Amino acid sequence: MSEENKHRVTAAAILPLVGGAANVTSVAHCMTRLRLGLRDRSLVQEEALKAVPAVMGVVEDDTYQIVLGPGTVNRVTPEFEALVEEGRADAPAEPAAPAAPAGGADPVTAEELAAQGAALRAERKAKNATPFKLFLRRIANIFVPLIPALIGCGIIAGLNGLLVNLGWLPGITPALAAIASGFMALIAVFVGYNTAKEFGGTPILGGAVASIIVYAKVADVEAFGQHLSPGQGGVLGALAAACLGVYVEKRCRRWVPESVDVLVTPTVTVLVSGLATLFGLMFLAGEVSTWIGEAADWLLAHGGAGAGFLLGGLFLPLVMLGLHQALIPIHTTLIEGSGFTVLLPILAMAGAGQVGAALAIYLRLPRNTSIRTTIKSALWPGFLGVGEPLIYGVSLPLGRPFVTACAGGAFGGAFVGLFNQLGTDVGSTAIGPSGWALFPLLDGNHGLARTIAVYAAGLLVGYVAGFVATYWFGFTKTMLEELNAAPDEPAPAAPAPVAAEERVAEKV
């Protein structure tokens, strides 16, 4: 079967399991997930969907997200969109109701854990629907579409650096440098465009206002007693400028007569926002960007292992709370300022802790074939940095193993943080990938070989610490008895049935 046919088959398998074309209101994707807007989520046949070979897991949020993994999702999405369009054109029959889940003999199976995981996701979604977290999600929506370009340019920059260090292909390396740097030189324009689009303005006006920041002649403008520099304020300045542009544009749309709107509104929007950007926002955003870079350097130079321990251990809880999205502009600012972010390799250790915990769970539950099968299918994506199947399918529903997995991430983060404190910066030239997928994007201040070695050793520490913590402290005796009951054995009697959330709380 050709690659194109394989991805179309995957899309064709997914579509009826999410209620058919009539139930799909929107289709998008990020680095690893197919994100669907659905009219009625009760039509989703989740267990059958998880059984599709290419599906690594599902996540319920503001959209219904199907984890397909990097690369695969980029190829399946257009096939899925085509099938949705064909289905709407053909006016398909009403989607069938989801099949009733089959009962299992195991006291606690992967299906049960998946149901608990779904309940936890729904609870998390409700808690995350606060104005502040919704605002952070909108900020993330501005930067997430930029990730593919950051990754591509980051890998080319790494390749170019390697060729320069080796003295190879001197006639090609300047061209590679231009290719790798072009996007970063204009990233403010893309941020401005996406900001206006996200907040309800005209995208091209947002890009126009943000482009002022990277225009070379801003060096002739003086603000706060000093001449501006092209690019000063970076992505934060572009974000602020475009937000101001949206505000001005909406005010103009309200008051300017329709007969002259097409002339007046764009002019006033660009003029007012542009002047505010040149004589205020660029300077202020530049100061904030400088402070962020200095704060990150100070944190790791003085906090080192302690800072890494906290960052690596708390990252997944931040994800559960929806607060991790606040880090995306910070990563982008660090990449724009120094060429790489020193925070991402530390945060990536959280995934290493999950992998180590999964290996320990696999060994501690030798008789629970259902959970072991889930782990076997989700483990390799976990090594590559796709952690959702392990988190939502295994560790989070079990409770205690999620905590011990976070401990593994903490020790891995402490290891990488210690080396940062000792003077070896370990950074990433892009955001998005994690685990083994981050290796092509690594960069630092002491050569690629040392950077790769420290990061690889940090992953190993995370694997081992997550494994040890989960193996010895991830289960109570009661948990092991319940989870290890054979299919033909009755589960230990319980006084009364309890809800999934209560059972997880007990295990924690």
Whether 176 and 156 have beta carbons less than 8 Å apart is answered as yes
Single out the catalytic residue among 30, 153, 243, 406: 30
Residue with tokens 């007693």: 225
Question: Distance between CA atoms of 299 and 306, rounded to whole angstroms?
Answer: 9
Residues in the chain: 508
30 is catalytic: yes
Q: Give the bridge partners for 65, in sequence order.
A: 35, 59
Whether 492 and 385 have beta carbons less than 8 Å apart is answered as no
Question: Distance between CA atoms of 505 and 508, rounded to whole angstroms?
Answer: 5
Q: Would you say the C-alpha torsion 81, 85, 88, 90 has a positive or negative sign?
A: negative
Question: Distance between CA atoms of 433 and 151, rounded to whole angstroms?
Answer: 8
Q: What contacts 76, CB < 8 A, 6 or more positions away?
A: 7, 10, 11, 14, 34, 54, 68
Question: Distance between CA atoms of 428 and 441, rounded to whole angstroms?
Answer: 5
Whether 430 and 319 have beta carbons less than 8 Å apart is answered as no
Q: b or e along 393-407 (b: 16 or more beta carbons within 10 Å of the residue's beta carbon)? A: bbbbbbbbbbbbbbb
Number of helices (H), then strands (E), in the chain: 23, 8
Longest dimension (CA), the chain: 80
Residue with tokens 């690893």: 32
Question: Distance between CA atoms of 335 and 190, rounded to whole angstroms?
Answer: 15
Whether 158 and 429 have beta carbons less than 8 Å apart is answered as yes
Whether 356 and 459 have beta carbons less than 8 Å apart is answered as no
Report how far apart, in Å, the C-alpha atoms of 417 and of each of 177, 305, 326, 349 are.
Answer: 30, 5, 21, 11
Question: Distance between CA atoms of 37 and 63, rounded to whole angstroms?
Answer: 5
Q: 442 is written with which tokens?
A: 């690594």
Helical pair 234-255 and 203-214, crossing angle rounded to 10 deg: 140
Question: Distance between CA atoms of 346 and 417, rounded to whole angstroms?
Answer: 7
CB atoms within 10 A of CB 138: 13
Nearest 10 degrees: CA dihedral of 361, 364, 365, 366? 120
Catalytic residues: 30
